[in-house]
Amino acid sequence: MSNEKIKKFERKFLPKIIIILFYFFTILFFLYLSNFYNFFFKPSRVINVFTFTDMIPKSVVKNFEKKTGISVRLKYFDSNEELIAKLKIDKGAGYDLITSSDYAIEILRKENLLKKIDKSRIDSFANLDSRFLNLYFDPENNYSIPIAWSVEGIVFKRKVFENYKNINWDFIFKKPVFTYKICMPDTPREVVYLTSNYLLNKSQNLTNEELEYIKNILIEQKRWVEIYMSGSLQYYLLANIVPMAVSSSAFAKKLLEVSNDFDFILPDQGSFCIIENLAIPIHTNKDD
């Protein structure tokens, strides 16, 4: 290529290449800004926590940091399935503490993805409610410590259902007595559990025929389900998109704190309890 052609090429394309490189490295800089900050200004003592949103109050984090001088970095996940997948991929590398629901603890424990906890070093362990200890997912609580519990029930707009005295699972699983939509959980495990408990009064050792029956009921129910969602239900309820949703008591508590228009009920037909726990990923070196 002649010098003239090279100069012509440079005049035509060099400014564009420079602009592209400038934007590329600018985007790269902002993407990894936190990493640069952590590298140069990393606190001497820090723990990384992987948790559900709102599971650990910010006030608790601030008090912990103030008392111990240890910085806490919170990162959030949306579901136990996301947590399980993350720990299976890299065994929780980069995290020192997690929160997890009961059944997920069982899976993580059996996959050898959790560290044993030295309970003798936890002064408050003796104060825990014994009803939430030594359960199926961690029989001796060697790998988990319960920190919260909730029950699955129905949250509904009081005015819409004021003529109905006994709100129960029939309003969720049977054809609505009048035209309305509902929200259902987005976790298949919870949906199947609730449905089998409602239809068959059991949730374990389901036969293929029983599972097929449950599937058909859920397909029929889908006609009046607005959305399958466990988080952000308040937008659908407060905006009057749906008057009723299956939700945890923890969510219902938050909703009732901001609106007097709703009520929460645990139907007589039964439900289930979810126990949230703290656990330590296998790869952390910050057990203390």
What is the per-residue pLDDT across 219-267, written as a single tens digit (0 to 9) for each? 999 999 999 987 788 899 999 999 999 999 988 998 999 999 999 999 9
Distance CA 194, CA 248 (A): 12
On whether the CB atoms of residues 55 and 148 are closer than 8 A, the answer is: yes
pLDDT at 32 over 90: no
On whether the CB atoms of residues 101 and 276 are closer than 8 A, the answer is: yes
Tokens read off for 72: 């806490």
Instruction: Provide the pLDDT confidence category of residue 65 given band limits of 50, 70 and 90.
Output: very high
Is residue 189 classed as helix, strand or coil in its secondary structure?
helix
Closest CA to 82 of 67, 68, 95: 95
pLDDT at 42 over 60: no
| pLDDT tens-digit series, residues 87-143 | 998 888 889 999 999 999 999 999 999 999 999 999 899 999 999 999 999 999 999
Distance CA 281, CA 200 (A): 37
Q: Mean pLDDT across the stretch 40-68?
A: 85
Distance CA 141, CA 267 (A): 30
Percent of the chain with pLDDT over 70: 90
Closest CA to 283 of 72, 51, 91, 84: 91
> In this structure, how many other beta carbons lie within 10 angstroms of the beta carbon of residue 118?
10
pLDDT at 166 over 80: yes
Tokens read off for 52: 């559900």
Distance of CA 213 to the CA centre of its chain: 28
Structure confidence at residue 287 (pLDDT): 83
Structure confidence at residue 7 (pLDDT): 63
Instruction: Provide the pLDDT confidence category of residue 21 given band limits of 50, 70 and 90.
Output: confident
Q: Mean pLDDT across the stretch 194-207?
A: 92
- Virtual torsion, Cα 239, 243, 249, 255, nearest 10 deg: 30
Structure confidence at residue 92 (pLDDT): 81
Structure confidence at residue 232 (pLDDT): 80
Instruction: Provide the pLDDT confidence category of residue 43 given band limits of 50, 70 and 90.
Output: low
Structure confidence at residue 207 (pLDDT): 94
Q: Mean pLDDT across the stretch 43-65?
A: 88
Instruction: Provide the pLDDT confidence category of residue 178 given band limits of 50, 70 and 90.
Output: confident
Instruction: Provide the pLDDT confidence category of residue 85 given band limits of 50, 70 and 90.
Output: very high
Q: What's the whole-model pTM score?
A: 0.76
pLDDT at 84 over 80: yes
Q: Which residue would you say has higher pLDDT here, 64 or 42?
A: 64
Is residue 271 classed as helix, strand or coil in its secondary structure?
coil
Structure confidence at residue 34 (pLDDT): 55
Closest CA to 77 of 231, 194, 190: 231
Q: Which residues contact 44 (CB under 8 A, 6 or more apart)?
A: none
Structure confidence at residue 31 (pLDDT): 65
Closest CA to 235 of 251, 249, 223, 250: 251
- What sign does the dihedral 243-156-250-92 (CA atoms) show? negative
